[in-house]
Structure 1
Amino acid sequence: MAPNHMPDRADSDTVFTVLNEANQVHGTDFQLDHRFDDGVQSGAWLLTDGTGRQAVLKWSPDRGWAPQIARAARSVAKVHSMGYPTPAWLAAGVTTDGFGYQIQELVPGRSRSQVTAHEAQLLIDVLETHAGLDPDPQRCWSQYVTGQMTDHREELLQGAAETGPTGQQLVNVCERLLAAHGPVALPTGDLVHGDFRPGNILFHGDHVSGVIDIEALGSGTRAFDYATLLSAHDITPEALEMLCSAGEQVAGPGVLAHCFAHVVLDLTVFVHQRELQPGIRNVSKLLDRAVILLNRAIGA
């Protein structure tokens, strides 16, 4: 395969090659069953071995992401051993073509599109276990967000403003929100998932059975994961109040506000660059939630 070729995650020929190499390296005999296309684990493939054991294969067509997958394997093993509800990784590595992959245990459950008060409480319970569960101090989300909101702040604001009128309004509200709180120092020492969204959480019955898509995990403040969760498409008003209150209690309203401003500005640019229509439509909700946080800050 040509080094500059980036296949799609759904490319079955490439997936077969990745799995074949993984089986050889790790002494497994998994076979491809089918691709998850129902939103349970988008971009992942169900595997079955000769004993009937099932697992999940995830891989990235982005060769630049391969070192992070390999690095994350150690952190995932650490937090899983401490009881964090993320599926165990049975194998992980990088193929000779440079694609990072991991094979994880299959856990029961499905994601839920709407966050109601019930889901919000379950998610808060999980997020509070992030406290002090520092998996990788050298990969610090708090340091990253601080750098983005200082050294690259104008670039981020301009990029969001250029997406259109709603983006411009979002920029204006975020600037007021940041000004209302003033400078803050983002703490560290917590587990940060990095993409803690409803689509990456599996529910089974009345509990969270799996936190998936965890390859970007690192250190920082769990307020960042609260901020990411607050950008979800469908959150009921009661759940929104619960998540705002819990997120503010982590390290103060200013820390949550700074994390949220970064999340929504970055997300606005991202969805417009890739023309992701559901995400573009969601920007108006991001604006509404930024206004809610601003009103909480100024006591309106």
Structure 2
Amino acid sequence: MLRTRRCGHEPMNQGTPPEELPTEVLDDVASAVRAEVTRVSRLPGGINGGAVRVQVAGRTDAVLKAAPRAHPHHLDETLRAQRVVEHMRGRGYPTPAWLAVGATATHVWQLMDFVDAAPASELTPSLVEQLMEIIELQAGQASEPYDHWSYAWRVATGQEPAAAGRDPDEAPEQSRLRRSIAGLSGYSPAVSALVERLRLVSADVPPPRDAPDMVHADLATPGNVLVVDGTVVAVVDIGNAGSGTRAIDLATLVWYCFKDPLLDDVRGRLWTRILDLVGGEGAAVLTAAHTLHMLEFPIRDGRDDVVPQVVERGHRALDELDSLR
């Protein structure tokens, strides 16, 4: 659930800026693809560095991203994302192909197709409608046991993994975020009141029983949507993809659709689809989980000016959902 914005590629956590990219990473990529790899330029955008446009000898340009090894399973998580990409591309999902994945002693890297398109500067009704159609391609396509649905329930309810009745495959980043979210109430009385309200709407909801769909987990961030003349040509930032309910991605779109009154109508259609998929209780859990994440990010980063906006939007989302349930 990390929020990053890039051009023509999927970002990774804690990317290494190209000027700091170790030579051994480029050498490892070249060895993997059996061709010379030449750095072209750093790609713009994003809050994490590390996306570099490269030329692979004898092929078109590609995008290389490298991140310092964050934990022992970092490469396994990247390989999981690669499998999700291959699975979904085989079903018409518009995400760039991953050409290679690998690791050195210090970094994990991925090489993918370069998409010559611009990231969307903002969501529009047309883009949201297109994304809703793309999300439907995720139906029944869960292929990896990386369950965002159960994780959202744990975040919303404050429950530990064992409370779900099984031992889920929770990634280190998910565990860290969940622990950080558990301490949000101490930030301010306004945040505490919102957290209490979010916990209350989720308190009696049982854990989800299945995770049938593929979940992108950051499809709604405009910079992760690449467009040409207003048409979506690719969605990126798929490194955190897994399984769950596609309503997770719809709920994320709802959050971003509060930014512009022109999106009010399409936001209503999003709510309707979410309620059709997971019902009122499920919608409450997904709204609570996403709001808690949106609180955690600025509080963690010390962006105190953003927190009141998140609090206001969180209450607005709950009010709107209450009127529809």
CA shift in 2, pair 1:227/1:297, >3 Å: same
CA shift in 2, pair 1:11/1:105, >3 Å: closer
Please list the CA deviations of residues 31-90 of structure 1 after superposition, one character each: whole Å capped at 9, or x if unmatched: 111111234996411111334611111222243233200222222111112211110001
Residue equivalent to 1:296: 321
Amino acid of the residue matched to residue 216 of structure 2? Answer: H
Residue equivalent to 1:220: 244
Matched, 1:72 2:81: yes
The answer on whether the counterparts of 1:40 and 1:111 sit within 8 Å (CA) in structure 2 is no
Matched, 1:235 2:259: yes
Residue equivalent to 1:93: 102
The answer on whether the counterparts of 1:201 and 1:210 sit within 8 Å (CA) in structure 2 is yes
- Which of 10, 17, 28 matches 1:10? 17
In 2: Cα distance, 1:62 partner to 1:95 partner: 9
Aligned-pair CA distance for 1:108: 2.6
SS in 2 for 1:47: strand
Q: TM-score, normalised by structure 1?
A: 0.83
SS in 1 for 2:64: strand
Amino acid of the residue matched to residue 177 of structure 1? Answer: V
SS in 1 for 2:213: coil
Residue equivalent to 1:26: 33
Matched, 1:190 2:213: yes
- Which of 262, 269, 274 matches 2:296? 269
Amino acid of the residue matched to residue 100 of structure 1? Answer: V
Structure 1 residues not aligned, in runs of 5+: 1-5
CA shift in 2, pair 1:203/1:70, >3 Å: same
- Which of 62, 68, 71 matches 1:55? 62
Matched, 1:245 2:269: no
**Identity over aligned pairs, percent:** 24
Q: TM-score, normalised by structure 2?
A: 0.77
The answer on whether the counterparts of 1:233 and 1:282 sit within 8 Å (CA) in structure 2 is no
Amino acid of the residue matched to residue 74 of structure 1? Answer: R
In 2: Cα distance, 1:42 partner to 1:232 partner: 24
In 2: Cα distance, 1:299 partner to 1:263 partner: 18
CA shift in 2, pair 1:26/1:103, >3 Å: same
In 1: Cα distance, 2:46 partner to 2:324 partner: 39
Please list the CA deviations of residues 178-217 of structure 1 after superposition, one character each: whole Å capped at 9, or x if unmatched: 36x8446364110011222222221222422111111111
Amino acid of the residue matched to residue 118 of structure 2? Answer: R
Q: How many equivalent pairs are there?
A: 290
In 2: Cα distance, 1:22 partner to 1:105 partner: 14
- Which of 211, 218, 227 matches 1:203? 227
